[in-house]
Amino acid sequence: MILSAGLRTDIPAYYSEWFFNRLKEGYVYSRNPLFQNCVTEYTLSPDKVDAFYFCSKNYAPMLPRLGELKDYRTIFHATLNAYGTDLEPNLPPRQDRIDTILSLSKLVGRQRVYWRYDPILVTKEYSTDFHLEAFAELASILAPHVSGCVINFIEITREIERRLPERLTCTRTDRRTLLMGLGSIGKRLGLPIRICGRGEDFSAYGISRGGCVNLDDIALANDCTFKKVRHLGNRRRCDCINCRDIGAYDSCPAGCLYCNATKHPDEVEQFRALHDPNGPILIGTLSPEDRVTKSPQESFLHDVGGQISFFDP
């Protein structure tokens, strides 16, 4: 089983102490976001976790403790966009985040690190020309330090429309211009680019199709072999390998206006007040009405041999 830490909320940036405490305790609880009284228990020992998939805009809080992950297979997605504080109001300065990605790559190896330029949205302020110029600048810095780049266009929901009324103007022409330009930049810099999703062929642009995270990436990064697994993805039109996330929605204080993991921004601080870094569940506590089920954690691994720690010389 692949466990994710960063899809529902940015655990590396805001809850890394809790995460490492759970590793020490050897288990974690995760509440079902649709059926709130259903709680799943996951064992966190290296023999029960095929790999940890991390996704974050800021790995800085985790860097000093990465040695505690030396016995686990890992993959790291680092999101870095070129937006301003109008869309990403609470993130560290961009140069600091660039430096953090470079430090992460140095510590764990570039084969475990992927850059996410995600989501792409087009407005008057963030035109196609803006994206192509910004992407080229960031790619020239990051390409030697990452295995590839994952891009996605924004998924427009009712919540996003409320937060960004009349600002999203991405047309089919804009999309084609961006795909052609990004693919050209990637080819020039030797940076593989992938877009998440099924049903469309982007190879003409030099962009491959597939999930944001897949077993091939994890296997290559960790020198292991996985079974051939049929899966439905993590969301609609998604080709990602199925992950089980240990976070909670509406608990990320980054405040990014395009984020679909935060549906109720006004409640984030209220939820964060319920966080206990020593507790088994990210937000809140268990109640008498909760039903805890231990996950069987069936493995995708075909061969557990050959694992190489990123701290080995």
Q: Would you say residue 309 lies in a domain?
A: no
For 75, 78, 111, 195, 261, the CA distances from 265, given in Å and listed in that order, are: 28, 23, 35, 28, 10
Domain span at residue 276 reads 2-303
Q: Would you say residue 194 lies in a domain?
A: yes
Give the pLDDT band of residue 141 (cuts 50, 70, 90): very high
Q: Would you say residue 310 lies in a domain?
A: no
Q: Would you say residue 50 lies in a domain?
A: yes
Is pLDDT above 50 for 93? yes
**Number of C-beta neighbours around residue 265 at 10 A:** 16
Give the pLDDT band of residue 170 (cuts 50, 70, 90): confident
Average pLDDT of the segment spanning 140-162: 93
Q: Would you say residue 16 lies in a domain?
A: yes
Q: H-type helices in the chain, by residue range? A: 11-14, 16-25, 94-108, 128-142, 158-163, 172-189, 215-222, 268-272
Give the pLDDT band of residue 70 (cuts 50, 70, 90): very high
Average pLDDT of the segment spanning 88-112: 98
pLDDT of residue 228: 82
pTM of the model: 0.93
Q: Would you say residue 311 lies in a domain?
A: no
Q: How many helical (H) and strand (E) elements, i.e. helices and strands, does the chain have?
A: 8, 13
For 285, phi and psi rounded to 5 degrees?
-135, 170
Q: Would you say residue 273 lies in a domain?
A: yes
Taken in order 141, 104, 16, 117, is the CA torsion positive or negative?
positive
Q: Would you say residue 287 lies in a domain?
A: yes
**How many residues can be counted in the chain?**
313
Per-residue pLDDT tens digits for 258-294: 999 999 999 999 999 999 999 999 999 999 999 999 9
On whether the CB atoms of residues 299 and 46 are closer than 8 A, the answer is no
Number of domains in the chain: 1
Mean residue pLDDT of the chain comes to 91
